[in-house]
Amino acid sequence: MVLLEKTSTLIVGYAPIDNDHDGFVNLLNALDSADNAQFPALFRQLYEHTEQHFERENQLMKLSAFPGESEHKGEHQRVLGEFMQFKTRVDKGLLVFGRSFVRERLPQWFGLHLLTMDIALATHINNHPPA
């Protein structure tokens, strides 16, 4: 079983963002099936991937003059803050907290974020390519 299926509903229509999302889904699904020895390194990898993904989106928003930039960046900061709290617990060996975050929080957040903020960003970029 996987947490997130790769379907057309996960495609926003802008390849750089879609590629980042594909990597996120792959790591999230790998974490769900990871054993306790693998979990901390994969969790750290997902956190770093998410940081880099958000930074790329932040740059795209700036370069394309995206009108929802401040709200979208704010959501990135909020999620990274929440992610960091769980990363701290995982780093201390409290894997149950990280597993709960991976299974209960991230898939739902990702689906909503993609269908609202990322679709809007991709549409804007496709209509107003970055400078």
Kindly report the CATH number assigned to the domain that includes residue 56: 1.20.120.50
In-domain check, residue 6: no
Could you tell me the residue range of the domain that residue 91 belongs to? Answer: 13-127
Q: Minimal CA–CA distance to 32: which of 4, 59, 60, 3? A: 3
In-domain check, residue 20: yes
Tally of structural domains, the chain: 1
In-domain check, residue 3: no
Task: Please report where in the chains the tokens 């609202």 appear, as a residue.
Answer: 116
pLDDT digits (tens, 9 = 90+) for 66-113: 999 999 999 999 999 999 999 999 999 999 999 999 999 999 999 999
In-domain check, residue 7: no
Q: What's the confidence (pLDDT) of residue 48?
A: 97
Banded pLDDT at 129 (limits 50, 70, 90): confident
Residues 6+ apart with CB under 8 A from 81: none
Q: What's the confidence (pLDDT) of residue 6?
A: 75
In-domain check, residue 29: yes
In-domain check, residue 4: no
**26: pLDDT strictly greater than 90:** yes
Rounded Cα–Cα distance for residues 110 and 113 (Å): 5
Q: Minimal CA–CA distance to 59: which of 48, 46, 73, 49? A: 73
0.75 surpassed by pTM:
yes
In-domain check, residue 42: yes
In-domain check, residue 8: no
